[in-house]
Amino acid sequence: MQEKYDIVIVGSGVTGLYAALQFSSDVNVLVLTKEQKAISNSSLAQGGVAAVLDSSDDSFDLHIYDTLVAGGQKNNLQAVQTLIREGPEDVRKIMEMGFNYDKNEDGSPRKTLEGGHSRRRIVHHKDSTGDNIIATLLKQVEKHKNVEISEHSVVSSMNREENGFRLDLIINKTDKKSVFTNYCLIATGGIGRVYKYTTNPTVATGDGIRLAYEVGADIKNLSCIQFHPTVFSASSEGERFLISEAVRGEGAQLLNCDKERFMQKYDKRMELAPRDVVSRSIILESRLKNSDNFYLDIRFKSEDFIRKRFPGITKGCLENGVDITKELIPVFPCQHYLMGGIDTNLNGETSVKGLFAAGECAHTGVHGCNRLASNSLLEALVFGRRSAQEIQKRLNQNDKSIAPYKCEPKDGNKDLPTGLDDEIRSIMQEAFFVLPNDEKIESGFDRAKQIRQILKDGDYKKTIEYCEVLSLATVATIILGEIYEKQKALGKV
């Protein structure tokens, strides 16, 4: 790893990898990833990527309409139009790169339906679309000699310099190094680990949002969190196994503790209502029935269809003791996606000069208050590309070089107190899970803020654990602060 780069991309999901492929061969690109390069939120995306690839039974206007309805009409219309009109070309590009999408007998994409969509427009690879796209992009990145990927590399801090940024890194848990760059693109994905229960991997601790916040970038609508309604209900905390929206898209029915359908009481779209509607309905039904036991039933489909259409879900459920071809799937909502984040324009530019953000960690307003199913991978492609193109344009116009200099990032002497991460997760789970808990918001906000200050003021060793807990505390403070102000304005706290 050298000391100076034209562009550093923090994150190796679809956003980061697709962005890296957009630069000319004379641009030095460094992609940083916390774990192995294939581990990201993107790699866990099951359902697919939504795009209008033909107009025989679909249109841009219909996809735009569905996105706005799912988002509660709170979307940035220009961002939505950009996503849906430009997205199909990006999907075609990854198809050309080798994305192994499921096909009909005539070779056309076999499209599925998910909640909130009025047409079958989701292109997929079985039930592991994200993993296949990541593998496709990694193969392409390996061909680009100007792109370097550094695994097991955590950004502990980011500092603004005259013509760019200095990023202090922790590599392979103990080694420390600083790199310099003219431009930085944050593509670190979600914040799921701020909750006890999430579909996100262990790397999703909101690091990019914390880094951007610390250098003064605007953060917007961080409390706009999507709770996926159908996640495998297990007793253990941490990462939960997602039961894709596509299962309901193929007709699976949602049942309460009495094994009865109930969505008709809450929304005429029933199981195919947008995710926020279904999640709220489950919570209301759980309060009505005084039970958290809910199920998905797809047993009416043939065993052969289920195993071929959903091999990953079938296997995952079997590993948890459930044969979905013969048994009900136990489900319950949990944290899944972030609609808010680092505020950007449609080219990924933040309020800090030279700093860009794209993908789940960014806020363009494209999702409004709830993301339409399978628009996330489309967002990663479109806004990852647009960010890279804007940075490339600026590199072409300005030959500003940032001079590396020898520096030793300051470190502390004290060990991190144990249990702070678990305390933050408990606070979030109690104060804001699907619906705000008015009795817990203010005290939760105050404690999260206090934990963050303790971490900032204390002379703690700058370990990976310290960085992650600081990220969690920062994210929790911003989220609960937004919720507190909203509830206060409504006279609820």
Residue 279 is encoded by which pair of tokens?
């999640």
User: How many Å separate Cα 84 from the centre of its chain?
Assistant: 19
- Residue 292, exposed/middle/buried by CB under 10 A (0-12, 13-18, 19+)? middle
Count how many Cα atoms sit within 13 Å of the Cα of residue 305 in the half-sphere of its side chain. Answer: 10
Neighbours of 432 (CB within 10 A): 26
**Between the CA of residue 250 and those of 244, 274, 452, what are the distances in Å?**
10, 15, 45
Concatenate the DSSP letters of all residues of 410-458 into one string: ---SBPPPTTHHHHHHHHHHHHEESEE-TTTHHHHHHHHHHHHHHHHHS
Phi, psi torsion values for 421, nearest 5 degrees: -65, -40
Q: Quick check: helix, strand or coil at residue 5?
A: strand
Place of tokens 């994409």: 109
Active-site residue, 386 included:
no
Q: Which of 406, 477, 417, 414 is nearest to 442 (CA)?
A: 477
Neighbours of 209 (CB within 10 A): 30
Give the DSSP H/E element, type plus range, for residue 391.
helix 376-397
**Between the CA of residue 483 and those of 135, 442, 486, 488, what are the distances in Å?**
38, 9, 5, 8
Phi, psi torsion values for 398, nearest 5 degrees: -130, 120
CA angle, 448 then 348 then 381, to 5°: 100
Give the DSSP H/E element, type plus range, for residue 473.
helix 464-489
Distance, in Å, from the CA atom of 402 to the CA atom of 355, rounded to the nearest integer, reads: 14
Catalytic residue among 121, 275, 385, 452: 275
List active site positions: 275
